[in-house]
A = this chain, B = another copy of it.
Amino acid sequence: MPDYQAPLRDLHFVMNEVLDYPGHYARLPGGEEATPDIVAAILEEGGRFAREVLLPLNQSGDQEGCRLEGGEVKAPRGFKDAYARYVEGGWPGLSAAVEHGGQGLPASLGLALSEMICSSNLAWGMYPGLSHGAADALRHHGTEAQKATYLSKLVEGVWTGTMCLTEPHCGTDLGLIKSRAVPEGDDGYRITGTKIFISAGEHDLAENIVHLVLAKLPDAPEGSRGISLFVVPKFLPDADGNPGERNGVTCGSLEHKMGIHGNATCVMNFDDAKGYLVGPPHKGLACMFTMMNEARIGVGIQGLGLMEASYQNSLAYARDRLQMRALSGAKATDKPADPIIVHPDVRRMLLTQKSLAEGGRMLVMYTGQLVDLAGHATDAAERERAETLLGLLTPIVKAFLTELGFEATNEGLQVFGGHGFIQEWGMEQFVRDARITRLYEGTTGIQALDLLGRKVLMSQGETLKVFTKEIHKFCQANADNEVLKPFVEPLATLNAEWGELTLAVGMKAMNDREEVGAASVDYLLYSGYVTLAYLWARAVATAERALAEGTEDAAFYRAKRATADFYYQRLLPRTRAHAAMIRAGGESLMALDEDDFARGFAI
């Protein structure tokens, strides 16, 4: 069975050394309580919870799956109890406002903990996973009465939340939804329709489930401008705010999936279900985006969590498994063969995972500071800058960390050779679980269009410049540092090229808008590699500083430097391919007529 240790030392490095989280929290309104000691204690406790409570249920949950019986969904054995301990420990409200019953700690701290949950048990993590976003959507767009009814329950964790968007005929294109909401005289509506792919849509972990549902009002304009958001509880709260009458929302069936078997992915039938409008009529998509952006970062963290889990377990196997002698001569002469970690290609697979997980962690925690600042910075300019950068980085966090998360878990499996294909080892579960992350909350293709089309080109490149300027400043500030040269020089070149590629695509897109879609995924991946290169360069700068100042933990910092070397030499060259593909444009994609695709096998 796989093992897992929360990467506390690395989190300390990322938060306290590279990104100056102590300073960030000290300056952040409401962040004063997150002192380094408190943060360390919480992370340690979170790591223990992940390892001791969630991890033992990961493989059994996958094998057992969920059951739908008489309309009720039973989560795998142990899930309910683990959730009770999660609530008991106060974890659901960690970064929720004190006024709603939360602990008022910064959102970024929740992201660090989220990684641990995803590493130890992704399927379980998807039960409470959307509650925070549901609470946030209500906090931003709900009425005072709605807040009073739902917020503290979600924050406390006694109720969980869902996001009901997708219907059988539409997922990406929500303008097509058919679910209807009919006003009902009083303040309510009656919702009717079918929603699919609803994570934790029905389960036995919490006493109530709060669905946030997109549906159309009778007078709705066509398309995505005619969608409204509703809150639809499984049980209608009674006068005391406790679960009362059963509402007309039921689980029709459970999906049979490739992975995350422990999570109930439900078809939800809304049959004249009582619901309440959240936000203005027809503006539901915009309100839902509050929740969706948070969920997207959450899915990126799933990619990161699985990379780390895969890395740790493949590393343990590589140190243990004896096979062949090193090409340069036997290393473990007392053993019948060398541990496979001596082989360069095994190291390549390990370092791919290591550099992506550690780089991904920096990206997530860098993004976490933006989340904090976008929500709480008192200075309007600082808040606006954080919002801009957050908008730019959200699709990168989501798509880059999940695309590379899938690659990394596959490298982890590959380290095991044929054993990786066997369920018992748990590596193939990481791969199956990782596969969904490239799809839900907007596929990689959708994230890429969001990044290149909506964020970068629609702002005439201004959004991107906020970030490339920051990178440029870092490069300039370190231009004379000989030790950093192998990082700063290629980074500066890539940073400039990023702008050039953007301009090139932008020019083409003025003649043909399809050029945006044609370049988008390569552009997103290119952006991801450069973003991680920036953070890895900062990590090296930090490590070199520690080594220069003298440290008892020199091996840690030297390993950081070596991992950065690997990233720059063995992963970053992928930008050469992506840049060439971006420049190649879309002509070869659009040349074939639809019928031409099938000429090789149609008879």
Contact A347 B444, CB 8 Å, known A422-B256, A573-B581: no
Is A22's beta carbon under 8 Å from chain B? Answer: no
Per-residue CB contact flags for chain A residues 430-463 toward chain B (1 = under 8 Å, else 0) read 0110011011100111001100010000000000
Task: Provide the residues of chain B in CB contact with A586, threshold 8 Å.
Answer: 344
Is A413's beta carbon under 8 Å from chain B? Answer: yes
Q: Are A347 and B596 in contact (CB-based, < 8 A)? A: no
Residue on B nearest A331 in the bound complex, by CB: B594
Q: How far is the CB of A484 from chain B (nearest CB, A)?
A: 16
Q: How far is the CB of A352 from chain B (nearest CB, A)?
A: 10
Q: Are B559 and A603 in contact (CB-based, < 8 A)? A: no
Q: Which of A214-251 contact B (CB under 8 A)?
A: none
Q: How far is the CB of A438 from chain B (nearest CB, A)?
A: 7
Task: Provide the residues of chain B in CB contact with A581, threshold 8 Å.
Answer: 569-570, 573
Q: Are B518 and A348 in contact (CB-based, < 8 A)? A: yes
Q: Are A443 and B431 in contact (CB-based, < 8 A)? A: no
A438 to B427, CA, bound (A): 15
Q: Are A435 and B417 in contact (CB-based, < 8 A)? A: no
Q: How far is the CB of A52 from chain B (nearest CB, A)?
A: 14
Q: Are A601 and B8 in contact (CB-based, < 8 A)? A: yes
Task: Provide the residues of chain B in CB contact with A13, threshold 8 Å.
Answer: 600
Q: Are A418 and B440 in contact (CB-based, < 8 A)? A: yes
Per-residue CB contact flags for chain A residues 162-193 toward chain B (1 = under 8 Å, else 0) read 00001001111101100000000000000000
Is A388's beta carbon under 8 Å from chain B? Answer: no
Binds B, one of A29-37, A103-111, A135-143, A318-326: A318-326
Q: How far is the CB of A294 from chain B (nearest CB, A)?
A: 19
Is A341's beta carbon under 8 Å from chain B? Answer: yes
Is A531's beta carbon under 8 Å from chain B? Answer: no
Q: How far is the CB of A94 from chain B (nearest CB, A)?
A: 22
Is A556's beta carbon under 8 Å from chain B? Answer: yes
Q: Are A603 and B8 in contact (CB-based, < 8 A)? A: yes
Task: Provide the residues of chain B in CB contact with A339, threshold 8 Å.
Answer: 594
Is A358's beta carbon under 8 Å from chain B? Answer: yes
Is A99's beta carbon under 8 Å from chain B? Answer: no
Q: Choose one: B421, B444, B555, B598; the contact of A259 (CB below 8 Å).
A: B421
Q: Which of A289-336 contact B (CB under 8 A)?
A: 308, 312, 315, 319, 322-324, 326-328, 336
Q: Choose one: B337, B424, B514; the contact of A256 (CB below 8 Å).
A: B424
Interface size on A, residues (CB 8 A): 117
Q: Are B602 and A9 in contact (CB-based, < 8 A)? A: yes
Task: Provide the residues of chain B in CB contact with A558, threshold 8 Å.
Answer: 596
Q: Choose one: B555, B562, B585; the contact of A588 (CB below 8 Å).
A: B562
Is A114's beta carbon under 8 Å from chain B? Answer: no
Q: Are A344 and B589 in contact (CB-based, < 8 A)? A: yes
Copies of this protein in the complex: 2
Task: Provide the residues of chain B in CB contact with A436, threshold 8 Å.
Answer: 418, 421
Q: Are A555 and B595 in contact (CB-based, < 8 A)? A: yes
Is A548's beta carbon under 8 Å from chain B? Answer: no
A562 to B599, CA, bound (A): 12
Q: Which of A247-261 contact B (CB under 8 A)?
A: 255-259
Q: Are B514 and A344 in contact (CB-based, < 8 A)? A: yes
Is A476's beta carbon under 8 Å from chain B? Answer: no
Which of A13, A171, A597 has the most C-beta atoms of chain B within 10 angstroms of its own C-beta?
Answer: A597
A276 to B354, CA, bound (A): 48
Q: Which of A386-429 contact B (CB under 8 A)?
A: 406, 410, 413-414, 417-418, 420-424, 428
Task: Provide the residues of chain B in CB contact with A8, threshold 8 Å.
Answer: 601, 603
Is A281's beta carbon under 8 Å from chain B? Answer: no
Contact A258 B428, CB 8 Å, known A513-B328, A592-B559: yes
Q: How far is the CB of A404 from chain B (nearest CB, A)?
A: 13
A438 to B420, CA, bound (A): 11
A417 to B439, CA, bound (A): 6
Q: Choose one: B323, B351, B556; the contact of A599 (CB below 8 Å).
A: B556
Contact A350 B597, CB 8 Å, known A171-B418, A418-B171: yes
Which of A343, A423, A453 has the most C-beta atoms of chain B within 10 angstroms of its own C-beta?
Answer: A343
Q: Are B344 and A176 in contact (CB-based, < 8 A)? A: no
Q: How far is the CB of A365 from chain B (nearest CB, A)?
A: 14
Residue on B nearest A599 in the bound complex, by CB: B556
Q: Which of A1-53 contact B (CB under 8 A)?
A: 5-10, 13
A521 to B343, CA, bound (A): 12
Task: Provide the residues of chain B in CB contact with A5, threshold 8 Å.
Answer: 601-603
Is A473's beta carbon under 8 Å from chain B? Answer: no
A181 to B413, CA, bound (A): 33
Q: Are A565 and B594 in contact (CB-based, < 8 A)? A: no
A452 to B444, CA, bound (A): 35
Task: Provide the residues of chain B in CB contact with A424, threshold 8 Å.
Answer: 256
Contact A584 B569, CB 8 Å, known A421-B439, A521-B348: yes
Q: Are A315 and B598 in contact (CB-based, < 8 A)? A: yes
Q: Are A323 and B517 in contact (CB-based, < 8 A)? A: no
Is A151's beta carbon under 8 Å from chain B? Answer: no
Name 11 interchain pairs, CB-CB below 8 A, sorted by A.
A8-B601, A176-B322, A257-B428, A328-B513, A344-B518, A345-B449, A347-B590, A351-B589, A414-B439, A555-B593, A568-B588
Extra contacts besides A13-B600, A573-B580 (13): CB < 8 Å: A5-B602, A5-B603, A9-B600, A256-B424, A327-B453, A343-B517, A345-B445, A348-B518, A350-B597, A421-B435, A562-B591, A569-B581, A570-B589
